[in-house]
Amino acid sequence: MKTIRILLIAFSALLLSCKESNKDQLSISEISSERIQIDESIKGDEDINKFIAPFKEHLNNTLDSTLAYNPKLLSKNDGDLNTAIGNMMADALMLQANPVIKKRTGRDIDFALLNHGGIRSELPQGGVSTRSAYNLMPFENEIVVAELSGVKIKEMLRYLEKAKTAHPVSKEIQIRANKDYSIFEAKIKGEQIDKNKTYLVATSDYLYNGGDNMAFFKNPINLYSTNYKIRNALIDYFTSVDTIKADIDKRYIRE
């Protein structure tokens, strides 16, 4: 009898608590946190690494297959106001983007301008591969073409005077500066810059959007997008040539 009574009490207690706990939400009583570094002390999961392996192999094979031959090391530090590697990149951009723009606008691009900081690696002597293009240009920036007034081109020259840097330009523009970097002559396709004309300048969407303070790109007369990544233009250029011919020349010099 006594046992039954205890069980009954227990049972009603259970019912009560059930009701209680269903009605009540849980509440957070304590929170703790930890930041865990993922380093060599953790052994990689074998199944995961096995799963990655074929993707990695295909990627590496494609990245490392030779597209062209580069006869000498090219570095962005090997010139004063123009460098062999910068010249190669600006000329390649011009060459690859021009057909796209010509088709769209009926006009040729006048020249290309990049930034010295945008050359992200050297180009070693030997085989040039897709990986070389990724090293030179790891970012996803696209080629854009801005139609700028002659006045804006003059602004660009003022910018270059102040920058005192080998910002890459394509061979269609020739800039001659004094020892103090002040520019005394600039020609586009052999002609003086005409304030009343407009010029098509190929560049990176990064610079167009204000990168490296290239403010002269702001509010162009027209802007043409190409949906063509700079890296892909380089890959296409490397694919199209057997041997890279890149030299320091007289396109942008101090006298």
Per CB under 8 A, residues contacting another protein are 6-7, 9-11, 13-14, 17-18, 20-21, 24-40, 42-49, 51-52, 55-56, 58-59, 62-63, 131, 134, 140
DSSP assignment letter at 62? H
Least CB distance to another protein at residue 248 (A): 29
Compare residues 41 and 196 and give the one whose CB is closer to another protein: 41
CA angle (22 as vertex; 20, 25 as ends), nearest 5: 95
The residue behind tokens 């890959």 is 235
**What type of residue sits at position 231?**
R
CB count within 10 Å of CB 12 equals 10
Least CB distance to another protein at residue 62 (A): 7
CA distance 75 to 167: 13
Least CB distance to another protein at residue 85 (A): 21
Compare residues 196 and 227 and give the one whose CB is closer to another protein: 227
Compare residues 214 and 235 and give the one whose CB is closer to another protein: 235
Q: Which distant-in-sequence residues (6+ apart) come within 8 Å of 236 by Cβ?
A: 96
Compare residues 52 and 73 and give the one whose CB is closer to another protein: 52
CA atoms within a 13 Å half-sphere pointing along the CA-CB vector of 164: 6
Least CB distance to another protein at residue 127 (A): 17
Least CB distance to another protein at residue 57 (A): 12
CB count within 10 Å of CB 130 equals 20
Least CB distance to another protein at residue 18 (A): 7
Compare residues 51 and 126 and give the one whose CB is closer to another protein: 51
Burial class (CB in 10 A: 0-12, 13-18, 19+), 112: buried
Compare residues 149 and 204 and give the one whose CB is closer to another protein: 204
CA 249 to chain centre: 26
